[in-house]
């Protein structure tokens, strides 16, 4: 009998904890996001789009050793870029930025319209399909702009600089395969 009381108390205590947990509401995965200006975009997303930033859109290039112009310019001293290389990379960056800015502005505007249509309960299926298709098209175009900049940047670096870039960016543990272009070196890469 003496052993049953502690066991009974432990069981009742466990039931109390389990009961309290079952009454606690599950965490809302989007909790707090309902107050965003544009529900589908964080404030950081909006700013990045309006500034023409990459937002990870070029990871397929970056993580396969196609350097991005922005990062190459940031690492110019460590990469020992020549004045000519720095100018060439700057031109790639400027073209990328000039193309990315209007695309980002348009994406933000369309996301704002889509959000407003839902908020006002004025969305219908055909309008929804048109808006989402246009946003997706622009997102694809924006991604292409950023990926193309990586594609244009690689040939501006020599093999040592491209390797050093990967080291500086922390990609030593990844694939060591050289990008397409032939004998272990990208087509058009300067020596």
Residue 178, pLDDT above cutoff 70: no
| pLDDT surpassing 70 at residue 184 | no
Cα–Cα distance measured from residue 94 to residue 99, given in angstroms and rounded to the nearest whole number: 9
Integer CA distances (angstroms), 106 to 25, 50, 189, in order: 39, 9, 35
Question: To which residue do tokens 């397929």 refer?
Answer: 60
Instruction: Specify the number of domains making up the chain.
Output: 1
Q: What is the pLDDT of residue 19?
A: 55
Q: pTM of this prediction?
A: 0.77
Cα–Cα dist 9/91, whole Å: 75
Q: Quickly state the pLDDT bin for 186 (edges 50, 70, 90).
A: very low
Q: Which domain holds residue 118?
A: 38-168
Q: Does 154 fall in a domain?
A: yes
Query: Is residue 191 a part of any domain in this protein?
Result: no
Q: Burial of 142 by CB count in 10 Å (0-12 exposed, 13-18 middle, 19+ buried)? A: buried
Q: What is the pLDDT of residue 183?
A: 32
Task: Judge whether 175 lies within some domain.
Answer: no
Q: What is the DSSP letter of 26?
A: P
Read off the pLDDT of residues 14-66 as tens digits, 9 standing for 90 and up: 555 555 555 666 678 888 888 899 999 999 999 999 999 999 999 999 999 99
pLDDT above 80 for 90: yes
Is there a domain that residue 184 lies in?
Answer: no
In a domain, 56, yes or no: yes
d(CA 39, CA 115) in angstroms, rounded, equals 7
Confidence of residue 188 (pLDDT cuts 50, 70, 90): very low
The verdict on residue 180 lying in a domain is: no
Percent pLDDT > 90 in the chain is 71
**Long-range pairs of 166-171 with CB within 8 A, sequence gap ≥ 24:** 166/65, 166/67, 168/75, 168/78, 168/79, 169/62, 169/67, 169/71, 171/63, 171/65
Q: Are 92 and 153 in contact (CB under 8 A)?
A: yes
């Amino acid at each position: 009998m003496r052993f049953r009381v502690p066991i009974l108390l432990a069981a009742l205590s466990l039931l109390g904890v389990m009961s309290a947990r079952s009454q606690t509401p599950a965490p809302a995965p989007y909790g707090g996001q309902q107050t965003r200006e544009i529900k589908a975009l964080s404030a950081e997303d909006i700013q990045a789009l309006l500034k023409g930033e990459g937002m990870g859109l070029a990871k397929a290039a970056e993580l396969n050793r196609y350097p991005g112009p922005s990062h190459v310019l940031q690492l110019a001293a460590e990469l020992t870029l020549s004045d000519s290389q720095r100018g060439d990379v700057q031109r790639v960056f400027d073209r990328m930025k000039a193309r990315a800015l209007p695309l980002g502005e348009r994406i933000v505007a369309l996301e704002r319209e889509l959000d407003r249509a839902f908020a006002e309960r004025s969305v219908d299926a055909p309008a929804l399909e048109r808006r989402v298709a246009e946003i997706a098209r622009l997102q694809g175009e924006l991604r292409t702009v950023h990926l193309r900049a990586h594609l244009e940047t690689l040939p501006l670096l020599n093999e040592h600089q491209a390797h050093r870039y990967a080291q500086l960016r922390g990609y030593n543990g990844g694939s060591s395969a050289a990008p397409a272009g032939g004998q272990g070196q990208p087509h058009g890469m300067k020596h």
